[in-house]
Amino acid sequence: MTRGLLAPPPLTRLQRLVLRVRGRVKVGEYTRPGWKGYLPLYAARCGEHGLFLDTPHGWRGELECPRCFEDRLLAEAIAELVGAGG
Ligand SMILES: [Zn+2]
């Protein structure tokens, strides 16, 4: 799980510009013990929660706000409980 890694670092003026134009900006690389490689670490902005850090997910390389991700998991868990009748 690579969500909600760190608080986003202060962005430079160039990084803020790239973020505005592309919707994401690379701020570093991420690795874990036992990994051979690195994943690019991006800062992106969530309309609801503000700036967040994430690594790309899936073949489309999408970024997801960790707080939205948690909300979605919770909503899915609740839907499952309700669907199961309690
Ligand atoms: Zn969010």
Give the pLDDT score at 8.
77
Please give the radius of gyration of the chain, using alpha carbons only, rounded to the nearest integer: 15
> Rounded to the nearest whole angstrom, what is the distance from the C-alpha of residue 58 to the centroid of ligand 1?
18
For the chain, the DSSP string reads --SS-SPPPPPPHHHHHHHHHHSEEEEEEE--TT-SS-EEEEEEEETTTEEEEE--BTTTTB---HHHHHHHHHHHHHHHHHHTT-
In degrees and rounded to multiples of 5, residue 79 shows phi and psi of -60, -40
Taking the centre of ligand 1 as the mean of its atom positions, its distance from the CA of residue 52, in whole angstroms, is 8
Q: What is the pLDDT of residue 6?
A: 66
pTM reported for the whole predicted model: 0.76
What is the pLDDT, as a whole number, of residue 53?
A: 93
Whole-number Å distance, alpha carbon 5 to ligand 1 midpoint, is 14
Instruction: Report CA(75)–ligand 1 centroid distance (Å).
Output: 14
pLDDT tens for the chain, residues 1 to 86: 445 556 778 899 999 999 999 999 999 998 989 989 999 999 999 999 999 999 999 999 999 999 999 999 999 999 999 887 65
